């Protein structure tokens, strides 16, 4: 059974800092890995999707890496802004097209 863990559970940083969020998963037989953002009281917004054959994906100030063999992914956020404050969720897709989510990292970027 796939298990996904995210560390840290919460993170508070001053504006402008670069930061790294971590995600680990137990079953390396994944199709892809996604990072989502969830704002309070809102749904999920997909940030980046990395296919199992890829090592990283970039979108603006975000960079996600994937090391499938070790069961790890990181989300790097450059030059953080208060608008980045949200919960970041990592999810992996195994067979069956369903996603298994981590518990999320609650990020607070202080002005």
3-state secondary structure of 5: strand
Residue 9 belongs to what H/E stretch?
none
Residues counted in the chain? 111
Select from 12, 26, 45, 81 the one that contacts another protein (CB under 8 A).
45
Select from 11, 13, 49, 62 the one that contacts another protein (CB under 8 A).
49
Nearest distance from C-beta of residue 61 to another protein, angstroms: 19
Query: Interface with another protein includes 104 (CB under 8 A)?
Result: yes
Closer to another protein at the Cβ: 77 or 91? 91
């Amino acid at each position: 059974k796939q298990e996904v863990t995210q560390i840290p559970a919460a993170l508070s940083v001053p504006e402008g800092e670069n930061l790294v969020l971590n995600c680990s998963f137990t079953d390396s037989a994944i199709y892809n890995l996604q990072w989502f953002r969830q704002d309070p009281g809102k749904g999920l917004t997909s940030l980046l999707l990395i296919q199992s054959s890829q090592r990283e994906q970039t979108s603006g100030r975000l960079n996600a890496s994937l090391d499938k063999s070790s069961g790890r992914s990181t989300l790097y956020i450059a030059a953080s802004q208060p608008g980045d404050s949200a919960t970041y969720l990592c999810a992996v897709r195994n067979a069956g097209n369903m996603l298994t989510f981590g518990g999320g990292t609650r990020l607070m970027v202080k002005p």
